[in-house]
Amino acid sequence: MNQKYLPLIATILIFIVSYAMCALQYPNMLSTRVIGNLLTDNAFLGIAAVGMTFVILSGGIDLSIGSVIAFTGIFLAVMLETTSIHPLLAFVLALLITTAFGAIMGAIIHYLEMPAFIVTLAGMFLARGMAFVLSIDSIPVRHEFYGTLKSFYYKLPGGGRITLIGGLMLLVFAVGIIIAQRTRFGTNVYALGGGPQTAALMGVPVARTTILIYALSGFLAGLSGIVYSLYTSAGYSLATVGVELDAIAAVVIGGTLLTGGAGFVGGTLIGVLIQGLIQTYITFDGSLSSWWTKILIGALLFAFILMQKGILFVSRRGRSYA
């Protein structure tokens, strides 16, 4: 069997087994309502995590996404409150800004040869700061278009709903999988993660790919911000603090190597769902405390890092005797 699928299979198994265990204890968790909510509640995280997957696959990291989501939310709220432009136009503007923001970070990382960690840390401060400058208050969005958008959903048998934003997340994952697996850009992302010097020697356009990767992450963080804005019907500059950490955790639990070069966008979806499942279980249980989420996710992270270290070790040894 192909070794590169091992972490992905482990993730899927963990998800299925834990879902089954949850369902045994609380049969209600099998209802389409719970499944629909799982998608809706984690939509913004999932969309941002797709961008993070590309960044991590390429061997980088993007700490700015939580701030960019908050910035997008407050930007939309302020625009819709103080001007009379249509939300759709505001969406386009927000996406333009966040995409350009990501592209600039990518350009700095590539051309100034600075670590992605620090550049996106600066980006994180900058985006959060811009959000503060727009407003420090929580601003509700009352535009009727938001109501219209929220009224779109696909009714599942059993009373569950796939909402517009839940569906959008699934669509983003689908597109993300196609980009990663079926485009030259996608292969180039993996190539960068495998080794930037080698990739350059083999003719990968490193500068363009790096900038595109961070632009994509910025775009998806913006889209995630729009979804979050729809989800909460408000903009608040202190929202979504630390989402980048949840996204990184989802990516790693989804089976992607944190050092880049190996992993799958689809795995990230499972990573997001595992996090959502833990939270849902804790809500169902009622007596368990929310902090177990963090501890469990930390433990899962550790397990996956160890597992990947182990796979690397075994495959190196296996190859030397091959």
Q: Which residues bind another protein (CB under 8 A)?
A: 2-4, 61, 111-115, 117-119, 121-126, 128-130, 132-133, 136, 178, 181-184, 186-188, 190-191, 193-195, 198-199, 201-204, 241, 245, 248-249, 258-259, 261-262, 289-299, 301-302, 305-306, 309, 315, 319, 322
Q: Closest distance between another protein and the C-beta of residue 319, in Å?
A: 6
Q: Closest distance between another protein and the C-beta of residue 158, in Å?
A: 33
Element (H, E) at 281: helix 265-285
CB-based burial label for 115 (10 Å; 0-12, 13-18, 19+): exposed
- Distance set, CA 39 to CA 35, 43, 196, 259, 278 (Å): 6, 6, 36, 28, 14
**At 181, which amino acid appears?**
Q
Bridge partners (DSSP) of residue 235 are 139
Q: Closest distance between another protein and the C-beta of residue 21, in Å?
A: 20
d(CA 72, CA 91): 9
Locate all alpha helices (DSSP H) within 152-238, ordered by sequence: 164-182, 184-194, 196-201, 206-232
In the complex with another protein, which residue's Cβ is closer, 100 or 301? 301
Give 203's DSSP letter.
T
Q: Closest distance between another protein and the C-beta of residue 20, in Å?
A: 24
Q: How many CB atoms are closer than 10 A to CB 242?
A: 8
Q: Closest distance between another protein and the C-beta of residue 289, in Å?
A: 5
In the complex with another protein, which residue's Cβ is closer, 23 or 241? 241
In the complex with another protein, which residue's Cβ is closer, 30 or 241? 241
In the complex with another protein, which residue's Cβ is closer, 166 or 186? 186
d(CA 217, CA 222): 9
In the complex with another protein, which residue's Cβ is closer, 1 or 151? 1
In the complex with another protein, which residue's Cβ is closer, 169 or 204? 204
In the complex with another protein, which residue's Cβ is closer, 70 or 273? 70
Q: Closest distance between another protein and the C-beta of residue 155, in Å?
A: 32
Q: Closest distance between another protein and the C-beta of residue 191, in Å?
A: 5
Nearest Cα to Cα of residue 221 among 302, 296, 131: 131
Nearest Cα to Cα of residue 280 among 46, 21, 22, 25: 22
